[in-house]
Amino acid sequence: MRTLGLIGGMTWHSTADYYRLINQGVQERLGGSHSAELLMLSVDFAPVEELQNRGEWEAMGQLMAGAARTLERGGAEAIVICANTMHRLAGDVTAAVKIPLIHIADAAAAAVKARGLKTVGLLGTRYTMEMDFYRGRLEAPHGLSVLVPDEPGRTTVHDVIYRELGRGLVRDESRRRYLEIIEDLVRRGAQGVILGCTEIPMLIRPEDSPVPVFDTTALHAAAAVDFALSD
């Protein structure tokens, strides 16, 4: 079994899901008392959030690169960034280490294409929805068409993530607002919706949506298990 290096804490709620899902995946595949070989470096999210608010991506890149190097020195054989938005810094991570990065957008795209879908909605932080690092990876290498909410929908999605889900709060009113945004994406042509923030599955369940939803936490964890158990 290969050892995975997880960069977590962004936020710890979804990082706990990664730990659970990866271990469950390994046990299901190998049986018995097997569990995953993991290293985790969990950061304090408060200063990271401040850097995001100030747009200080270079400083965040240095933080992420340092975390990846620490995990590599500890014996990790691949890096898993337990957050969608922080894949904005995937290049900083891959440049800092010799081991591969398991990219969350690739896991999401593979699942969408396996369902035969071409056009998807994308929900996430404002950075994920508006910057090119995530949408571009879905569109260019994978050939998907990506829709994001109009305003004020993007602000609603972003604010719920930071003010509620990132703090472990799940509110029915926010679920209702998210579903209205999903329904608008469907009217615009979305055949499915990528839950492009690892906290959104706390709020939106598959049975809530009129179209398939793609839980990036679960998909990324499954891709990590595939790597860990590959020859």
CA atoms of 212 and 105, how far apart (whole Å): 17
The predicted model scores a pTM of 0.95
Locate the domains of the chain by residue range.
4-103+219-228, 104-215
pLDDT in tens, the chain (231 residues): 999 999 999 999 999 999 999 999 999 999 999 999 999 999 999 999 999 999 999 999 999 999 999 999 999 999 999 999 999 999 999 999 999 999 999 999 999 999 999 999 999 999 999 999 999 999 999 999 999 999 999 999 999 999 999 999 999 999 999 999 999 999 999 999 999 999 999 999 999 999 999 999 999 999 999 999 998
Assigned fold of 104-215: Rossmann fold (3.40.50)
Assigned fold of 4-103+219-228: Rossmann fold (3.40.50)
User: Do 4-103+219-228 and 104-215 share a fold?
Assistant: yes
The secondary structure of 66-122 as a DSSP string is HHHHHHHHTT-SEEEES-SGGGGGHHHHHHH-SS-B--HHHHHHHHHHHTT--EEEE
Q: Which amino acid is at 44?
A: D
